[in-house]
Structure 1
Amino acid sequence: MIEAREWNGHPIHRRQVDGYVNATAMCRAGGRRWNHYVTNDRTAEYLQALSGSAGIPADLLVASIGTGPNHLRGTWIHPRLAVDLARWISPSFAVWMDGW
């Protein structure tokens, strides 16, 4: 099951089964680009730290979906990574994301 909330008029979806959030939609809502976030050194360090803490291989913290309904397509990320992405996007977006 998928739940959605809106930020700046853009729906952002989260999977209830694992809490993964659509990072593509987050970046679109915040006017930022996913590839700018995911390619910076700090993000790489965060992914490794989160992987160790959560016991999940780093490559499973991010999943790309290219088929299916539009709201299911895009890059889906672990909920803790979604909070970090929100902090990178903007302080107000981070506060909004903290409440989800």
Structure 2
Amino acid sequence: MSVVIPFDYEGQPVQFNADGWLNATRIASRLGKEPTAWLRQIDTLEYISFMAEALGLNSVPRTELDEIKALGTSAPGIKNRILTLAKSTGLVKSRVGAGGGTWLHPKLAVVFARWLDTKFAVWCDLKIDSILHGDMSVREQLEQALKTLSGRKALASEHGKGLSAWRWDKPVLENSVQFWIGQVQLSLGFDEAA
């Protein structure tokens, strides 16, 4: 995942990355649900498969979808099979550790959000649109700050002398990245406190 942009929805943290992917695990847990409960539904698998096909990604073969529909979710092991097939499309990613959880492609985020809560779905749709189509000059500044931070880190790793300079440059560069994340949020109207 790329840089995570945190937002606030009614006092609850919601994480998107710069490409609009939603951290489904974090928000679902705040609303008392689990993303796997949504991902293990036959209708969800069918939607994900058709979306993957429309986007030119790996879709689930129609014969396999029909077989799963015929078996139903009460068949042994079918829910895990559905989850595995959903992940195989590339529209669902799971990570372990810091920043981990189940991340959903922007094309799935609103459908998932609708399953969680309708009001949240509308909010989510607007935020994804803002991330993907918002103020590009601010987003470009963020990307430049990230590129500079990454470049200096790589240089520091390559050169022993660079480590000393990195020690002093790192806080300044990290502050620059944090500043531009804040600017992205403000320019896209994410200042919920106002």
User: Does TM-score exceed 0.5, indicating one fold?
Assistant: yes
> Which of residues 4, 21, 25 is equivalent to 1:2?
4
Q: Under a length normalisation based on structure 1, what TM-score does the superposition of the two structures give?
A: 0.86
What is residue 14 of structure 2 aligned with on the other side?
12
What is residue 54 of structure 1 aligned with on the other side?
55
> How many pairs are equivalent?
96
Could you tell me how far apart the structure 2 residues matched to 1:99 and 1:34 are? 21
> Which of residues 88, 96, 100 is equivalent to 1:66?
96
Consecutive unaligned residues of structure 1, counting only runs of 5 or more, are: none
Answer 1 or 2: which has greater strand percent. Answer: 1
Could you tell me how far apart the structure 2 residues matched to 1:29 and 1:5 are? 14
Could you tell me how far apart the structure 2 residues matched to 1:92 and 1:79 are? 17
Kept after mapping to 2: 8 A contact 1:23/1:74: yes
What is residue 28 of structure 1 aligned with on the other side?
29
Could you tell me how far apart the structure 2 residues matched to 1:7 and 1:33 are? 18
Could you tell me how far apart the structure 1 residues matched to 2:120 and 2:106 are? 14
Could you tell me how far apart the structure 1 residues matched to 2:92 and 2:6 are? 19
Percent identity between the two aligned chains: 32
Consecutive unaligned residues of structure 2, counting only runs of 5 or more, are: 60-87, 128-194
Answer 1 or 2: which has greater helix percent. Answer: 2
Kept after mapping to 2: 8 A contact 1:10/1:25: no
3-state SS in 2 of match to 1:99: helix
Alpha-carbon RMSD = 1.4
Kindly name which structure, 1 or 2, has the bigger radius of gyration based on alpha carbons.
2
Q: Under a length normalisation based on structure 2, what TM-score does the superposition of the two structures give?
A: 0.47
Segments ≥4 residues shifted beyond 6 Å: none
